[in-house]
Amino acid sequence: LTAAARHGLAVKLHADELTSCGGAELAAEINATSADHLAAVSADGIRSLAGSGTVATLLPGTMSFLGKMKQAPARSLIDAGVPVALATDFNPGTSPTPNLPLIMSFGLSQLRMSAHETFIGATVNGAAALALAGGVGQLAPGFSADLALWDAEDFREIPYWYGDRRCRATWARGKAC
């Protein structure tokens, strides 16, 4: 990890998923771009992340699919000032879903995040977790925009209707998909 960082490579850590083993503290110490999972992060780990600039990427689909009752402490991380991203962890072994709105629903129901926090986690902080926040992740002049048109009267409906397909159209880099 230190060699990668020394050579300018962005470092991401799979940290404290099932047990607290100091992964969050290490991520903060080496200024990792993100610390991912964090379902078992310690209070010391949260304090370390709070001042570091490392994004906490939470993957609630993984814990749900594995049948684990304990999710990452999103509320504690957010309250401590840690930027929290949400992601699917899409893989066939522990999180076989590419459905980000479902993950946002888990953000509401399992992680106790607000609708606003789930959107920040899926957009701005998601981009930051990939070291892309300078050009994607928000609607702003000069940013690349991928857009989705939703059948919803209010943005809070998107994570509320879990598993429902309310997306009616999408555009990626200005082109209809």
pLDDT at 145: 79
Number of H helices, E strands in the chain: 9, 7
pLDDT at 133: 94
Q: How far is CA 164 from CA 95, 144, 168, in A?
A: 18, 27, 12
pLDDT at 40: 98
Residues of the chain with pLDDT under 70: none
pLDDT at 79: 98
- Model confidence, pTM: 0.93
pLDDT at 62: 97
Contact 51, 43 (CB under 8 A): no
pLDDT at 59: 98
pLDDT at 164: 85
Selection from 62, 1, 67 nearest residue 34 by Cα:
1
The b-or-e profile of 112-129 (16+ CB within 10 A means b, else e) is: ebebebbbbbbbbbbbbb
